[in-house]
Structure 1
Amino acid sequence: MKFKLLAALALATPLFFIGSVQAENPQDLQKLLETGECIKCNLSGANLSSAHLIGADLRGANLQKANLSEANLEGADLTGANLAGANLTSAYITNVNLKQANLNNANLTRAKIYDSNVYQASMNNLTITDAEIFHTGIGVGGEDAEIPDWD
């Protein structure tokens, strides 16, 4: 009897944690995965780890604290999206539009970021350890960083 109870608990325990990584709006998550489009959706906290979001339209979407680790975002439009605190570890971010996006506190460890638009994006406290960044306006700096005089 004790064995059956332990076995049941072992199987049920992961279910308690699934709810904590679900998107705020499961319908929005389903819409994104089925159509590749979810403008102004609420995907905060969504588990999109290893998702293929090639060319996805996520303009204005709330992806705060979403798990996008190892996701392929090639060609995605994240204009004005909220990615604050998002996990983008080892994500593939090429030709992505992040114009006016909120990337504050995002984790871009080991991400591959190529040819992406980050014009007017907020990027405070980024983690970019071992990230590959080419032809994208992300760099190391801060209040004491030298800003070149282009005039």
Structure 2
Amino acid sequence: MKLQLLAAIALATPLFFANSVQAGNNKDLQQLLNTRECINCNLSGVNLSGAHLIGADLRGANLQGANLTNANLEGADLTGANLKGANLTSAFVTNVNLKRANLNGANLTRATINDSNVYQASMNDLTITDAEIFNTGIGIGGDSAEIPDWK
């Protein structure tokens, strides 16, 4: 009985998020929610708070000013994405490809960032208060650190 209830909740959860998400470009947003793929999409300013975007393909997507609070981005590909001013407070950013992404002014307060690729990403004015960062080239100060690229 408990297993059936958990299965029903798991199936209904994406429907809840689909109704609570708002954006200027509904076509791109629906594509992301239906397929988890939205290459070069315009998702600027969208509310994806709490969204499960595990393994999403968001290469080159415009997520400027997006609300990704509590979002799960595990394994997502955000190569070349624009996350300028995005709110990633308490987001789960593990095994995420952020190569050449624009993270300028992004808020990563209390985010969990593990094993993610930030090679050639722009990271000016990041907020990383209380973030848990492991095996990812994000830190405080200095231009001399070498950030490895995924091979």
The two structures have a TM-score, normalised by structure 2, of 0.80
Partner of 1:82: 82
SS in 2 for 1:133: strand
After superposition, the CA RMSD in angstroms is 1.5
What displacement does 1:97 show? 0.1
Query: How many residues are treated as equivalent by the alignment?
Result: 126
Partner of 1:147: 144
Which residue identity does 2:62 align to in structure 1? N
SS in 2 for 1:29: helix
The two structures have a TM-score, normalised by structure 1, of 0.80
Larger radius of gyration: 1
Residues in 2 aligned to 1:62 and 1:139: alpha-carbon distance in whole angstroms? 24
Residues in 1 aligned to 2:126 and 2:92: alpha-carbon distance in whole angstroms? 16
Residues in 1 aligned to 2:82 and 2:144: alpha-carbon distance in whole angstroms? 26
In structure 1, list runs of 5 or more residues that go unmatched. Answer: 1-20
Residues in 1 aligned to 2:23 and 2:121: alpha-carbon distance in whole angstroms? 23
Residues in 1 aligned to 2:26 and 2:111: alpha-carbon distance in whole angstroms? 26
Percent of aligned positions that are identical? 79
Partner of 2:41: 41
What displacement does 1:146 show? 6.8
In structure 2, list runs of 5 or more residues that go unmatched. Answer: 1-20, 147-151
